[in-house]
Structure 1
Amino acid sequence: MRGIYGMLQEALEHPGVFIPVPAGTSRADLDAEAEGWVRSSLAQEIGAAIGVTKGHAQGLLNDAEFLCEKLSSTFGALEAGEITRQHVDAMLRQAVSLDPEEAAAFETKALPKARQQSATQFARAAIKIREGLFPETISERRCEAVKQRRVECYGTQDGMGALTLHGPVEVVQSFLNAATRTARALKAAGDDRTLAQIEADAVTDALMKGFTTDGPKPGVGASGVGADRLGGIRPTVHVTVPVMTLLGHSDEPGQLDGYGPIAPDIARELAARAPSFTRLLTHPETGAVLSVGRDSYAVPADLKRTVRLRDETCTGIGCDRPATICDLDHIEQWQHGGETKLSNLQPGCEQHHMLRHHTMWQVHTDGDRIEWISPLGIAYQVPRTSNVQFLEVGAEDKATANAESAADDDERKEVAEEPLF
């Protein structure tokens, strides 16, 4: 943490290493936006070096700066092993909005508690101490915090996922209370699911169709395993299903964009409800996709879909944001003569897209190779996450392929490893 703090001070004193500014520019010359890009560029530098995401590294930078400048006694207690990192995190959450004098007063009162209590106990105590010392700002802080409300989703093991809602605590708590009351009522009526299972199914019901106790087992259908509400979903994600799996002749998993393998029966169910399909022709031995049908789509939309099928996720270092919600970035910038074509486009989340345009980070591609060059001159290779490849096809080849497409369609569908949907 002290090393990271030292790096931050060096970066701010020499901003020209990290962002394009005139020679001789110092920290005193930076406005808030320029300083923010220096910090962002350094965060990616640190994240790439130690193998964490840019966001995680940005958090380390923020924590290091706050501990070194405003909570030095807390930092000393951590170094001495008197408290854990979890205690420090609880301290930071409550002190982050305080000015230096307020943070010092809060630390003086909170640190003795941290030394005496478990991290869980101290997290609750820290809230009470902070609000007891400075209660007048709670309304202002809440207004700012509400602006950061969001929903996050990430995959877990065995085909499961977690959905996190960051919102006002009274709203989030009311959701949990409603789910708990629903679960207890159904359990008392003889439902054989566990309370945890009923709560999860009840929340799913609430999101799909509203809380309900109608029917023998709300949220459970023919599958008998939790909330069966797929009928209320119109899939808008890419689900790749081997044709033999789709036809029920194979148990090869499908692929859910942004997650990975999913059970074949779930893939078949989602495919049955999908409003449309995109046919991908693959190499019969390697499974690599060779071409994407283009007849039914306008060129811009089809090119966008092709890039996202090829890359699956943001091509930034350590980033796994799905390509379907990323910007499409021109590798050779448009204003510098770059073309809007497959080989010059890559999906980039907002952070990595803007990082390229506002800092000294550079990116180069050569076929399947994606290379980022940091402001400090370190090269990082970013592997593509899919095996999708494309062939350049001339006008004559396209005409021949279109003429043969209808005649060959049935034959293709009989080859287990060739078509994907």
Structure 2
Amino acid sequence: MVVKETACLTVEDRMAVDEELAADTAALDGAGDRAIITAVRAAAYRRDPRSVARRAAHAVTERTVSLRPAPDAMTYLTALMPVAQGVAAYAVLVREADGARAGGDERSRGQVMADTLVERVTGTRAGITGIDLQVVMTDRALFQGDSEPARIPGYGIIPAETARTLLLDPERTGTEVHDRQDLALWIRRLYTAPGTGELVAMDSRARLFPAGLKRFLQVRDDTCRTPYCDAPIRHHDHILSWANGGTTTAGNGQGLCEACNHTKETPGWSAKPLPLPGLRHTVEMRTPTGHTYHSTAPPLPGTPWSAVDLWAIHTRSPGSLPPPAAVKNGVQVLGRVIQPA
């Protein structure tokens, strides 16, 4: 904690802060982390106010919002922002919750705060109007009560019952739907290849991926296709670049996070799709060190994890993958079979 809070100081000032705090350790006896951090910050500010102010100004530029999965089909929506804005936003949510509770609302304080946040951000009390969630599930799970889990691209697997409730009975998701016309439900059919669950390809003559093809890639890839990266998809990338003759097609397209897409364009990196009929979409990536990795799109709901057979890839495309002995050492990471060369 001391190292972190004094990182902006010179070596001499860090030593001075350490000496100041160590001179009377009894003053911090029994103090928690927050109290210790406050004491360190105060000492650092006394030594070099300008450095501390510059550090705070830089921190403002790193404000952001992130989303990560939580257990039981829940999620953590986290915002990093300046303290004044954060305190103000929280105070508004508290005020709304207290007012609703005082008026007889039976929801808990936390529930009202969460619902109010969604309402203020999305602009609707239902919270999902105009937002494309792209819940992916089999027709059996949607209409026949099958237990095959559904998937929300960028989030992961949710129980089939939860998906049906979200689509067919939104009032049970924890948010009131005061106007049924506010909630629009669209069902898109996804055609897959028998046995493997590979999405049937679609193409475009455009340089940029059209909206429909972007949705296709989002559903197929779920998260960033770079091996070992599970960040949300931010860019829709030509695996073989447009400048080098790559086409704007599902076969030559992949979903990447922003960082991986920029990294892929640096010297030494290359990628190509492996057109192997009967298998899920696979990309071969070569790094500047000469190592080769393969990333296979995760299976859609209703298709088995074993649908991708590395031995079949080796058989159909001799030389494109390592020999069988090396294939045995492949690992499956976050739904993708990763095989280093």
TM-score range, shorter chain: 0.5 to 0.7
Alpha-carbon shift at residue 172 of structure 1 (Å): 0.6
- Whether the 8 Å CA contact 1:91–1:126 is kept in 2: the answer is no
d(CA) in 1 for partners of 2:263, 2:123? 41
Alpha-carbon shift at residue 139 of structure 1 (Å): 4.6
Runs (5+) with no aligned partner, structure 1: 1-86, 211-228, 390-421
d(CA) in 2 for partners of 1:198, 1:305? 32
- Whether the 8 Å CA contact 2:199–2:220 is kept in 1: the answer is no
Q: What SS is found at the alignment partner of 2:35?
A: helix
Q: What's the counterpart of residue 40 of structure 2? A: 126
Q: What's the counterpart of residue 260 of structure 1? A: 156
Q: What SS is found at the alignment partner of 2:191?
A: strand
d(CA) in 1 for partners of 2:197, 2:153? 16
- Whether the 8 Å CA contact 2:68–2:75 is kept in 1: the answer is yes
Alpha-carbon shift at residue 166 of structure 1 (Å): 1.2
More helix per residue: 1 or 2?
1
Q: What SS is found at the alignment partner of 1:153?
A: strand
Indicate whether 1:356 and 2:252 are aligned.
Answer: no
Aligned counterpart in structure 1 of residue 49 of structure 2, from 131, 135, 139: 135
Aligned pairs for 1:16-415 within 5 A: 87=1, 91-92=3-4, 94-109=5-20, 117-188=31-102, 190-208=104-122, 229-230=125-126, 233-247=129-143, 249-250=145-146, 252-262=148-158, 263=162, 264-268=164-168, 273-274=183-184, 276-283=186-193, 286=195, 288-291=197-200, 300-301=209-210, 302-323=212-233, 325-328=234-237, 330-367=238-275, 368-387=281-300
Q: What SS is found at the alignment partner of 2:66?
A: strand
Task: Indicate the larger mover: 152-161 or 305-314.
Answer: 305-314
Alpha-carbon shift at residue 154 of structure 1 (Å): 1.4
Q: What SS is found at the alignment partner of 1:162?
A: strand
Q: CA RMSD in A?
A: 3.9
Q: For residues 242 and 267 of structure 1, do their structure 2 counterparts lie closer, same or farther at Cα, with a shift above 3 Å needed?
A: farther
d(CA) in 1 for partners of 2:28, 2:269? 43
d(CA) in 2 for partners of 1:134, 1:327? 46
d(CA) in 2 for partners of 1:127, 1:343? 54
Alpha-carbon shift at residue 159 of structure 1 (Å): 0.9
Alpha-carbon shift at residue 96 of structure 1 (Å): 3.6
- Whether the 8 Å CA contact 2:93–2:116 is kept in 1: the answer is yes
Q: What SS is found at the alignment partner of 1:280?
A: coil
Q: State the identity %.
A: 24
Letter of the structure 2 residue corresponding to residue 175 of structure 1? A
Alpha-carbon shift at residue 298 of structure 1 (Å): 11
Runs (5+) with no aligned partner, structure 2: 171-180, 276-280, 304-341
Q: What SS is found at the alignment partner of 2:76?
A: strand
Letter of the structure 2 residue corresponding to residue 326 of structure 1? H
In the comparison of the two structures, how many residue pairs are matched? 277
d(CA) in 2 for partners of 1:133, 1:334? 55
Q: What SS is found at the alignment partner of 1:240?
A: coil
Q: What SS is found at the alignment partner of 1:358?
A: coil
Letter of the structure 2 residue corresponding to residue 356 of structure 1? K
d(CA) in 2 for partners of 1:126, 1:322? 36
- Whether the 8 Å CA contact 1:278–1:293 is kept in 2: the answer is no
- Whether the 8 Å CA contact 2:209–2:248 is kept in 1: the answer is no
d(CA) in 2 for partners of 1:292, 1:280? 10
Q: What's the counterpart of residue 54 of structure 1? A: none
Alpha-carbon shift at residue 258 of structure 1 (Å): 0.9
Alpha-carbon shift at residue 347 of structure 1 (Å): 2.0
Q: What SS is found at the alignment partner of 2:132?
A: coil
d(CA) in 2 for partners of 1:293, 1:354? 25
Q: For residues 360 and 138 of structure 1, do their structure 2 counterparts lie closer, same or farther at Cα, with a shift above 3 Å needed?
A: same
d(CA) in 2 for partners of 1:115, 1:379? 53
Alpha-carbon shift at residue 267 of structure 1 (Å): 3.1
Q: For residues 121 and 139 of structure 1, do their structure 2 counterparts lie closer, same or farther at Cα, with a shift above 3 Å needed?
A: closer
- Whether the 8 Å CA contact 1:303–1:342 is kept in 2: the answer is yes
d(CA) in 2 for partners of 1:159, 1:107? 46
Q: For residues 343 and 107 of structure 1, do their structure 2 counterparts lie closer, same or farther at Cα, with a shift above 3 Å needed?
A: farther
Alpha-carbon shift at residue 282 of structure 1 (Å): 3.4
